[in-house]
Amino acid sequence: MFVTFFAAVGALQSPPRAYGDTADGVQPPADSVGSASTDSSDTSGSAESEAPPAPAPPRVPPPAKAFGHLETGKGIFESTCLPCHGANAEGNKDIGAPALNRQEPWYLLAQLRKFRGGIRGAKDDDIGGQMMAPMAMALADEQAMLDVAVYVASLEGEVPARTLRGDRAAGERTFKMICAACHGANGAGRPEIRTPALAGQADWYLVGQLTKFRRGLRGYHDLDISGMQMRGMAAALSTDKAVVDVASYIASMAQ
Ligand code: HEC
Ligand code: HEC
d(CA 81, CA 95): 12
Write down all domains in the chain, each with its CATH number in brackets.
Answer: 1-23+68-158 (1.10.760.10), 164-255 (1.10.760.10)
Ligand 2 pocket, residue 251 CB under 6 Å: no
Does the beta carbon of 233 lie inside 6 Å of ligand 2?
A: yes
How open is the CA angle 80-84-74, to the nearest 5 degrees?
A: 40
Q: Is 237 in the pocket of ligand 1 (CB under 6 A)?
A: no
Rounded to two decimals, the pTM is: 0.82
- Kindly report, residue by residue over 14-59, the tens digit of the pLDDT: 433 333 333 333 333 333 333 333 344 444 444 444 666 766 655 5
CB 199 within 8 A of CB 187: yes
Q: Ligand 2 pocket: which of 13, 201, 233 to mutate (most atoms <8 Å of CB)?
A: 233
SS3 of 154, please? coil
H helices of the chain, in order, are 2-13, 31-43, 70-76, 82-85, 105-117, 127-138, 142-153, 168-174, 180-183, 203-215, 225-234, 240-253
Looking at residue 196, what is its pLDDT? 97
Task: Give tens-digit pLDDT for 74-131.
Answer: 999 999 999 999 999 999 999 999 999 999 999 999 999 999 999 999 999 999 999 9
pLDDT band at 67 (very low <50, low <70, confident <90, very high): confident
**How much is the pLDDT for 255?**
77
User: From CA 180, how far away is CA 196, in angstroms rounded?
Assistant: 12
Is residue 13 over pLDDT 70?
Answer: no
Q: Any idea which of 12-26, 92-106, 178-192, 196-210 has the lowest mean pLDDT?
A: 12-26
